[in-house]
Structure 1
Amino acid sequence: MPRRPVAPPRAPVTRIAAALALTGALSACNTVVLKPAGDVAQQQGDLVVISTLLMLLIIVPVIGLTLFFAFKYRASNKEANYQPDWDHSTQLELVIWAAPLLIIICLGALTWVSTHLLDPYRTIGRIDPETPISAQAEPLEVDVVALDWKWLFIYPEQGVATVNELVVPTNRPLHFRITASSVMNSFYVPAMAGQIYAMPGMETRLNAVMNRTGDDFIGFSANYSGAGFSGMRFPVRSVDDAGFAAWVADVKDGGEKAAGTLDAPKYLDLEKPSENVPAMHFANVDAKLYGRIVDMCVEPGKMCMSEMMAIDARGGLGKAGIHNVEMLTYDKHGREAALDATRNPDAALTRELAWVRALCEQEAGAVIDNTVVAPADKNSLTGFGLSAPQSLSLAGQNDSQSTPARPSKTSRN
């Protein structure tokens, strides 16, 4: 039987060409983290590079020595010095322990300094390495709300808002206040700064700057938040001051992206889960809306967190408040029925979206008066039917006419 022809070995030139082709493919990768458009992101990128180089000072010699020892003391090398009784070398111990210790000290010092300098809550001190912040510079305020599954950007100074579109001026300090409507999320624009978490009922902050104009930057969610997570991407544009003023004027004048006025009813409709939402512009915004979003009381009649904490600080509502606590749910859509009532007898109950009704005329975001007034009746608390605390003024009532504080609920089907 004739033998099959054996394929000739590949020439080194072919292997080199294949390696170069793979290297060329890697050149198409987006290295925005190491080549960003903002000074804060640039400092963070430099920190990554410096930390990597410091660690390579240990990794490269260890890998090199491992390969060297494996080659030198291979079984076929009869000239290698064989010393089975050797077990200690003071000089070698010093090198093995001193070098990593010095690297750890350098990394620790670098991390400590960078953690304070790049604190997202810390006001930035420079526009770029050559340009410090002037005393007259006012940061642009942007309120960010992570919705299911889209991003809402409110510009309080300009009185406008956008959905899934962020436009900022170049070389001007930026101050972001970040929150979420339902589940935890993460706001991340790699070209501008590191990611910051967005959580319902809480506010995180980010100070940053963009040093280069462009309309090809991308922002997205860096924390999985449900079915529409992959669509939580938005374009980021960095324009000069004149371009930013023109953009604000265009939003106010309306256009193909115009969506009217962003008030509480519009927001409640906007926050409903939806995927791949196109960019939207709002020419006017309710000035108190963001405060109520953070305070979790956009719905009419719903008690704000600040009001609830004020009641708790004054001793609470006793047993009268237990029913309210039982009705609360951290997932605001958790009580909405997933099945039809005919197939699920409890659908009517699961559709109920309940909250604690407000007792006071508390303005969202306002400073609360925590002065504790001694009760007129010092008898023991009896629970349900207990008169409202003397320090609370019920809406539409006089302080002298106190009525029982009964829990109530509001359903939205």
Structure 2
Amino acid sequence: MNLMWKARKRLRNIAAIAMGVIAMAALTGCDANLLVFDSKGPVAAEIESLIWISILLCAVIVIPVIGLFAFIVWRYRDKPGNKAPYKPDWSHSTTLETIWWGIPIVIIILLGFFTVRTTYALVEPPKDTKAEPITIQVTSLDWKWLFQYPDLGIATVNYLHIPEDVPIQFVMTSDAAMNSFWVPQLAGQMYTMPGMAMRMWVQADEPGVFSGKGANFSGEYFERMQFNVVSQTESEFNNWVAESKKSTQTLDQAAYAKLSEKNTMGEQTFGSMDQNLFAQIVLKNGGHHHPNNGLDIRGQFPLHGTDSDGADHSGGSADGNHDMSNMNHDMSDKDMHK
């Protein structure tokens, strides 16, 4: 019996170690690189700091609880031949109750404070640069990503180039199922939704190729919604723009209709584009007024509905058609805060 008990104890120890290894692998996502802890820009650095703060605050609870659990299991474990009766002596301690309820409440308050502070700080473009921001319009499709550069007149599919040390404003929507735009080394996630124009700032501090992905289930081939963000020096980026403009492909209504079909494809480059296309995508999916992160999209392109001041910003005409003539795709920081 004693040998059998020892064998069972050894098996339990092995199982505990195996479960610990499996749990660690699950917590790391089985990704040895841990991209969220390898930030390459000021926005991602703020988010990485928030993650570390969250880990440390949670560790204040998790480590003592796990330690106490292990101590209690070991200290009061059943032993072979133990015949002592089970007679627990129940008691109440107001001090202990205050400690194990008070500490989690304080930690939750701290987590909320740091999360709100970081969230509001990231509404504005990075402040450590004087470079003029660049706007990139992002549309998630089945099962691909469309990137439009309204100021440059070019568009790409499933890849994009950005200059280093320059704030990039992504204006995002969806013409398919809702998705989630994520470049772990540059920024956090932001949802793309039909009829909405969501905004997110990023900036790359150095040249490199950063992995981006659709982080939301969106159908049969959602796992193929991946793209590369290529950060380049200013001269390299300008050369890429010049080369892209040489492409004979034009992103017009016919090209977009083919692009929006449910299929997968590789990278594509369009040397010219319809400047009204992004606004039309938002409008056809409802396009109601939606302030995001304290920023008003009024004046960027016509949208259905009215503001709280009662002004009509539908942009519609008497015959129900939308007037795109006043669309302004210049989404600089100055215009965003009018």
CA contact (8 A) 1:260 1:283 kept: yes
Q: Considering only aligned residues, what root-mean-square deviation do their CA atoms show, in Å?
A: 3.6
1:9-58 CA-partner distances (Å, limit 9, x unpaired): x9xxxxxxx9xx9999x896121111121221121122112111111111
Q: Is 1:47 matched up with 2:50?
A: yes
CA contact (8 A) 1:307 1:360 kept: no
**Alpha-carbon distance in 2 for matches of 1:185, 1:358:** 34
**Alpha-carbon distance in 1 for matches of 2:259, 2:318:** 23
Query: What secondary structure sits across from 2:262 in the alignment?
Result: coil
Distance verdict in 2 for CA 1:307–1:43, change over 3 Å: closer
Structure 1 residue 169: Cα displacement: 0.7
Match of 1:251 among 223, 231, 244: 244
Match of 2:140 among 133, 139, 146: 146
Distance verdict in 2 for CA 1:99–1:263, change over 3 Å: same
Match of 2:118 among 90, 114, 132: 114
Structure 1 partner of 2:228? 235
Q: Aligned partner of 1:210: which letter? A: A
Structure 1 partner of 2:109? 105
Q: Is 1:29 matched up with 2:18?
A: no
Q: Aligned partner of 2:100: which letter? A: I
1:46-103 CA-partner distances (Å, limit 9, x unpaired): 211211111111111111112212222334599x9x9944513344334323322322
Match of 1:283 among 256, 265, 271: 271
Structure 1 residue 182: Cα displacement: 2.6
Distance verdict in 2 for CA 1:116–1:270, change over 3 Å: same
CA contact (8 A) 2:171 2:200 kept: yes
Q: Is 1:196 matched up with 2:200?
A: no
> Structure 1 residues 93-102 or 225-234, which shifts more?
93-102
Structure 2 partner of 1:301? none
**Which stretches in structure 2 are left out of the alignment for 5+ residues?**
1-9, 11-17, 286-300, 311-316, 328-338
Bigger proportion of residues as helix: 2
**Alpha-carbon distance in 2 for matches of 1:364, 1:184:** 25
Structure 2 partner of 1:155? 149
Count of matched residue positions in the alignment of Structure 1 and Structure 2: 284
What TM-score do you get using the length of structure 2 for normalisation?
Answer: 0.73
**Alpha-carbon distance in 1 for matches of 2:215, 2:325:** 28
Distance verdict in 2 for CA 1:306–1:138, change over 3 Å: closer
CA contact (8 A) 2:42 2:126 kept: no
Query: What secondary structure sits across from 1:205 in the alignment?
Result: strand
Larger of the two Rg values belongs to structure: 1
Question: Larger RCO: Structure 1 or Structure 2 (Cα < 8 Å, ≥ 6 residues apart)?
Answer: 2
Structure 1 partner of 2:288? none
CA contact (8 A) 1:164 1:279 kept: yes
**Which stretches in structure 1 are left out of the alignment for 5+ residues?**
1-9, 11-17, 127-131, 298-304, 314-356, 368-413
CA contact (8 A) 1:295 1:364 kept: no
